């Protein structure tokens, strides 16, 4: 082989390696957020008449997702449930709780960084018994921080389980299920006029792949099993509590995590292959909050006008 041919061959190999590297970077680390509406459609018809004239307290409970960490002003899912922001998307205009609940009040107890142990304490200590004519409309996210804190920087423990094995986690999962039921019952007691609790299940930024190392975090072999067990515990409690509804955030967010660009994945969303999370990977970005708002509203529409509770 001549020197010239060897150089050409080496150049082709180099170009190929560069292309592979560029493709890897593009599909693993370039995570565009996209523009415009995100999430399911919400029908206008249910919002064209009053749901109830009763006094209603919209109560937020839980972690940073319900607190709205990282959302631009007025664009958290809690805020957008209450009223449409000035820059609302055309397909969501007129779809808010203030439009259908004329005697709506709001209060948000959610705290960024908090776990389910703290949520139980917060309800008990901060939520007083409501007046006899106030119906409770509760929105919650609880349990996500139990799983991710503190990203393997310390040994796993209850409330900060990152890296735990499924076997080690079983008693903590059982405790989570009991704690949820205690919270749900305590919330019902605080609303003598009745309440409905809408709690989001826990999303998965890995899009069902279970590889936190792809986001430069420590590997966690049992992450999917522990995550699934936590969501199962949530659903089991909801089945026992007639005043609780699961909001399917987990399913809606699949395909919008760290693998959103990878068209060969099972959950790839060709109509919106974009990233719905904030840079911290824990919380949604504005489009993610839009999607959460929509799934909560769709869940609420199924039970409106709430007069039977």
Q: Inter-axis angle of helices 166-190 and 223-240, to 10 degrees?
A: 30
Q: What angle do CA 246, 300, 50 make, to 5 degrees?
A: 165
Which residues does 248 contact at the CB level (< 8 Å), separation at least 6? 200, 201, 295, 299
Q: What is the phi/psi pair of residue 306, to 5°?
A: 75, 0
Q: What are the residue ranges spanned by the domains of the chain?
A: 31-301
Q: State the pTM of this model.
A: 0.91
Each residue's pLDDT tens digit, 214-230? 888 999 999 999 999 99
CATH topology of domain 31-301: Rossmann fold (3.40.50)
Each residue's pLDDT tens digit, 74-119? 999 999 999 999 999 999 999 999 999 999 999 999 999 999 999 9
Tell me the C-alpha distance between 185 and 65, whole Å.
22
Largest CA distance in the chain: 93
Number of CB atoms found within 10 A of residue 156's CB: 20
What's the confidence (pLDDT) of residue 308?
79
What's the confidence (pLDDT) of residue 8?
46
User: Cis ω on the peptide bond leading into residue 150 (within 30° of 0)?
Assistant: yes
Per-residue buried b or exposed e for 263-298, using 16+ beta carbons within 10 Å of the residue's own CB: eebebeeeebbbbbbbeebbbbbbbbbbbbbbbbbb
Which residues does 72 contact at the CB level (< 8 Å), separation at least 6? 286
End-to-end CA distance of the chain: 84
> Using the 8-state DSSP alphabet, how is residue 92 labeled?
G
29 has a pLDDT exceeding 70: no
For the chain, where are the E strands, in sequence order?
55-62, 104-108, 134-141, 195-200, 244-247
Q: How far is CA 53 from the centre of its chain?
A: 30
Each residue's pLDDT tens digit, 149-199? 989 899 999 999 999 999 999 999 999 999 999 999 999 999 999 999 999
Tell me the C-alpha distance between 191 and 188, whole Å.
5
Identify whether the C-beta of residue 161 lies closer than 8 Å to the C-beta of residue 220.
no
């Amino acid at each position: 082989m001549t020197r010239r041919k060897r150089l050409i061959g080496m150049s082709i190999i180099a170009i190929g390696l560069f292309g592979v590297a560029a493709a890897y970077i593009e599909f693993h680390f370039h995570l565009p957020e996209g523009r415009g509406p995100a999430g399911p459609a919400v029908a206008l018809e249910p919002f064209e008449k009053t749901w109830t004239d009763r006094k209603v307290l919209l109560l937020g409970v839980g972690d940073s997702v319900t607190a709205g960490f990282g959302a631009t002003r007025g664009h958290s899912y809690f805020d957008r449930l209450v009223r449409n922001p000035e820059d609302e998307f055309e397909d969501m205009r007129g779809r808010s709780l203030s439009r259908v609940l004329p005697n709506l009040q709001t209060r948000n107890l959610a705290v960024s960084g908090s776990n389910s142990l703290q949520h139980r304490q917060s309800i008990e200590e901060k939520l007083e018994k409501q007046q006899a004519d106030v119906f409770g409309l509760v929105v919650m996210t609880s349990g996500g921080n139990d799983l991710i804190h503190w990203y393997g920087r310390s040994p796993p423990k209850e409330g900060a389980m990152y890296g735990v094995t499924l076997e080690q986690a079983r008693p903590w999962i059982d405790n989570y299920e009991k704690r949820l039921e205690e919270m749900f019952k305590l919330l019902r007691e605080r609303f003598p006029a009745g309440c409905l609790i809408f709690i989001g299940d826990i999303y998965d930024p890995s899009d069902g792949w279970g590889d936190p190392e792809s986001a430069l975090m420590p590997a966690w072999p049992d992450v999917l099993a522990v995550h699934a067990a936590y969501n199962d515990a949530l659903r089991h409690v909801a089945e026992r509590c007639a005043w609780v509804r699961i909001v399917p955030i987990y399913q809606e967010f699949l395909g919008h995590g760290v693998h959103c660009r990878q068209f060969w994945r099972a959950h790839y969303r060709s109509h919106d292959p974009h990233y719905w999370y904030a840079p911290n990977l824990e919380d949604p970005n504005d489009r993610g909050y839009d999607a959460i708002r929509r799934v909560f509203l769709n869940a609420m529409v199924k039970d409106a006008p709430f007069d039977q509770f």
